[in-house]
Amino acid sequence: MHHLLLVGLGNPGDKYKFNRHNIGFIVLDEFAKMKNLSWKESKKFAETSHSGEGYKLHIVKPLEYMNLSGKAVQNFCQSFKIPASQVLVVQDEIDLPFGKLKNKIGGGTAGHNGLKDIVEKIGSDFHRLRFGVGRPEKGGIEVIDFVLQNFNSEEKAALPSLVKESIGKIEDWISVSVTALNQQKG
């Protein structure tokens, strides 16, 4: 049985629920709903899992603040012997315009505190699904305040189709990962 880890980044608590910084939680909540999965919560993370032929997908939302996201990721990687190459993190990305989705493997963190903590705990060779949230206009509010704001009404209207597109990218990643793991085995 192969183990994969899908992680969504966000901050716990209702006041952060629809922040740009919480797109990882938003996408994973919708993914779980689509698969009829329910979350089990501990103090440190919310988890659920989905099994397919020959694999088990662990789905995790770290429930400590963003800058402590790596603890839950490290915990699952160690418990199930999951290498970083079998981890996908769904994150907000200020260096992409709103609505642009991009897959990436490894690389830097561009100041993203959730990614920084994960890199410190498991290295940087994990997959990322970068969900573009744009950045504030020059001379406007600070980036940290911008990502902690809720999506505006125009963005909110576009979210359902973008979340659906994100889920498609997650399913593609699962499929490619499982195929690669099965080939390594053979």
Point out the annotated binding site for tRNA: 16, 65, 67, 113
Strand partners, 100: none
Query: Out of 21, 50, 112, 127, which one is annotated catalytic?
Result: 21
Q: Is 21 a catalytic residue?
A: yes
What is the SS3 assignment for 104? strand
The amino acid present at 180, given as its one-letter code, is A
Residues at the binding site are 16, 65, 67, 113
φ, ψ at 91 (rounded to 5°): -135, 160
Q: How far apart are CA 65 and CA 28, in angstroms?
A: 17
Task: Retrieve residue 37's tokens.
Answer: 């999965």
Q: How far apart are CA 9 and CA 65, in angstroms?
A: 9
Q: How far apart are CA 75 and CA 1, in angstroms?
A: 19
What stretch of H or E contains 8? strand 2-8
Annotated active-site positions, please?
A: 21
